[in-house]
Amino acid sequence: MNSDRHASTYDLVEQMFYLYVRVVKSKDLQPSVLTGSCDPYVEVKMGNYKGRTKHFDKKMNPEWNQVFAFSKDRIQSSVLEVYVKDKDMMGRDDNFGRVVFDLNEVPTRVPPDSPLAPQWYRLEDRRGERKVTGEIMLAVWMGTQADEAFSDAWHADAAFVHGEGVMSVRSKVYVSPKLWYLRVNVIEAQDIIPNDQSRLPEVFVKAQVGNQVLKTDICPARTANPMWNEDLVFVAAEPFEEQLVLSIEDRVHPMKDEILGKISFPLNTFEKRLDHRPVHSRWFNLEKFGFGSLEVDRRKELKFSSRVHLRVCLEGGYHVLDESTMYISDQRPTARQLWKPPVGILEVGILGAEGLLPMKMKDSRGSTDAYCVAKYGQKWVRTRTILDTFSPKWNEQYTWEVYDPSTVITLGVFDNCHLGAARDSRIGKVRIRLSTLESHRIYTHSYPLLVLHPSGVKKMGELQLAVRFTSLSLANMIHTYGHPLLPKMHYLHPFTVNQVDNLRYQAMSIVAVRLARAEPPLRKEVVEYMLDVDSHMWSMRRSKANFFRIMSLLSGLISVNRWFGDICHWKNPVTSVLVHILFLILIWYPELILPTLFLYMFLIGLWNYRFRPRHPPHMDTKLSWAETAHPDELDEEFDTFPTSRPHDILERSKSNKLVYHVQSFCCSYALCDSLQSGGFSCWVIYVEASQVQKQDAFCSQQLLQEITSQN
């Protein structure tokens, strides 16, 4: 495709036409004869569809500024009727008048044209005579889903949704909060006075930011001037709403700690660091714990206080991980000053879904109210909810800036809980790695929506997408591939593995809470599913998948070593003779070594080119061992922590954990050592059969006895 062609709006999806009606305001309405006032509202009628605005109490010149959208495919009439009515609290509503439009005369607006200007229309009675007083300002036009009014419009296909559900069915764009790492370096303290003067304190420092609580180790030396020099790292989000609360506590008993001093800091007072240069440390006076607001006199009497030495800063040179590094969608540092220009543009057209399963019961039958969520970088998008269908058609298109092609976009399909369920049910998700996309090419494909249930992998339907990645500069793209994945601060001062897991979990929790406060909210269960909240939890299935990934990485070297051994032992005489002849040729003509190597690599690449994927690859259930997972493994993975299973089931599961699949599951001694440290009984034995080669296997003592009894 021509790379110089500018992409038009919504060119990846099917154009869907809508009749838009913008109701702006009304004036000169006549008050009711009985009440002397009016409670006006507007009703827009198109065939069997009726939409109405909110009503105003006792207002003669109301302003609504609401938009109604009627799908062209569902238009059942040739005229549009707009009624202005008076809400009667006792009985039937009264009509002020109406305005009628012929659909054949409605103009068409195509973005990026400016919005259609609304006009004043005189109200007429039901007979079409202009005997009533009052005017209404309207704008009526035919447009597509690319219109600016589309996302905030009242849609006729959601006519029965009222109240809180109206906002929840509309398409919206969300932005993740800006996250920072807060590093608190606790250096030392001075003049710590315990409550019990007869003993030296066992002191540690506890720091809290929101619901994040971290502690230093207890100072090994019992002294009034303890030293720690430990780093405590938290996750904070702008705007900073929490405070850093620091307390020095004394371990007086293994089950009891006493607070000796306390101090709190607003987060916006700390310095923002962009590189590895250290910030200045400061001494802070601790407030004696227990002095409340009613003890002002005692505060004035206190002339001596303990001190704590701190070095605190907000880290702007790190990327705050709120998603797994395997499926990361953004790796820019927090500080905007360190951002580099984008290397491309990603456009995704969310076309629709096919074959969705019923997620809830409605009127004694299965129903699904599906919407799609896409997440890339800090931008989240949510399509409108298509009601009561298993084959929704969204045809919405969104755009993201790409700063690194080695990233992944995640799309999930959910069932809307505001329309009859307690929480949004997950239908499935799709991940596409941008590095697998050719620039300036449109990919249109259906991806299966797979969900792992306690019973195994289940296909919930298919999601239809159109994806295009546009490269802005080939030189910038190559330059980006020459840099590490994360900012350099991750390599100059790296976090430990446990820190990364804990900080990522805290970051994900903050993002979920902040997005749940939007209107309409992006619910917590949706954000957690998109960010893989449980990826840090251990499971046998994930351990097996990781182990076999390592084995597949080493399998090439193992195969070459085995092939070389077969050559040396003349397992295949013809192959051995040919290899020796090639070896002699390379000895006689060493200048042919590099050409032969490059020719071999070229032939391998040419052979593998035939099997290249025609569409961007999706999740591989074989790679994750989701298809072949044992029921006991799935039961363990979906179990709560702490467990909700009875004790006898746990004991039986533990004894049978390593019995099954002995012929298809092999491991090294190192893995057996790790299993033994986890409390499992484990041996490495050789299993021999008449037609089975020797292989390493691990099993329980029960299986070992069965094998020896059967020779």
Q: pLDDT digit string (tens) for 383-411?
A: 999 988 999 999 999 999 999 999 999 99
DSSP code of residue 6: P
Please tell me the predicted confidence (pLDDT) of residue 294.
44
Residue % of the chain over a pLDDT of 70: 84
- Model pTM score: 0.80
Residue with the larger pLDDT of the pair 278 and 2 = 278
> Is the bond into 239 cis (omega within 30 degrees of 0)?
yes
> Which of 200, 228, 201, 61 lies closest to 135, judged by CA?
61
pLDDT, tens digit, 9 for 90 and up, residues 108-119: 988 778 888 999
Question: Cβ(360)–Cβ(421) under 8 Å?
Answer: yes
Asked if the model's pLDDT at residue 304 lies above 90, the reply is: no
Please tell me the predicted confidence (pLDDT) of residue 224.
86
Locate 194 and state its tokens: 């315990």
> Which of 711, 624, 600, 703 lies closest to 658, judged by CA?
703
Average pLDDT of the chain is 83
| The dihedral formed by the CA atoms of 509, 514, 516 and 519, expressed in degrees to the nearest 10 | -170
pLDDT category, 91, cuts 50, 70, 90? Answer: low
pLDDT category, 223, cuts 50, 70, 90? Answer: confident
pLDDT, tens digit, 9 for 90 and up, residues 417-451: 775 557 888 999 999 999 999 999 999 999 999 88
Please tell me the predicted confidence (pLDDT) of residue 676.
46
C-alpha 437/C-alpha 430 separation (Å) is 15
- 479-518 in b/e form (b: 16+ CB < 10 A) is ebeeeeebbebbeeeebeeeeeebbbbbbbbbbbebbeee
Please tell me the predicted confidence (pLDDT) of residue 672.
46
DSSP 494-544: PPPHHHHHHHHHHHHHHHHHHHHTSSS---HHHHHHHHTTTTTS--HHHHH
Asked if the model's pLDDT at residue 565 lies above 80, the reply is: yes
∠ CA 581-586-590 to the nearest 5 degrees? 165
pLDDT category, 577, cuts 50, 70, 90? Answer: very high
pLDDT category, 645, cuts 50, 70, 90? Answer: confident
pLDDT, tens digit, 9 for 90 and up, residues 4-21: 334 456 888 988 899 999
Lowest mean pLDDT among 23-27, 114-118, 289-293, 343-347: 289-293
Across 215-228, average pLDDT: 90
- 407-420 in b/e form (b: 16+ CB < 10 A) is bbbbbbbbbbbbbe
C-alpha 373/C-alpha 216 separation (Å) is 40
Residue 47, CA distances (Å) to 141, 153, 158, 191, 468 in order:
17, 18, 15, 82, 39
In sequence order, what are the residues at sequence separation of 6 or more whose Cβ sits closer than 8 angstroms to the Cβ of residue 130? Answer: 122, 123, 124
pLDDT, tens digit, 9 for 90 and up, residues 479-499: 888 888 899 999 999 999 889
Please tell me the predicted confidence (pLDDT) of residue 421.
54
pLDDT, tens digit, 9 for 90 and up, residues 443-472: 999 999 988 888 888 899 999 999 999 998
The burial class, CB within 10 Å (0-12 / 13-18 / 19+), for 687 is middle
C-alpha 656/C-alpha 21 separation (Å) is 66
Lowest mean pLDDT among 262-266, 400-404, 596-600, 692-696: 692-696
Please tell me the predicted confidence (pLDDT) of residue 7.
42
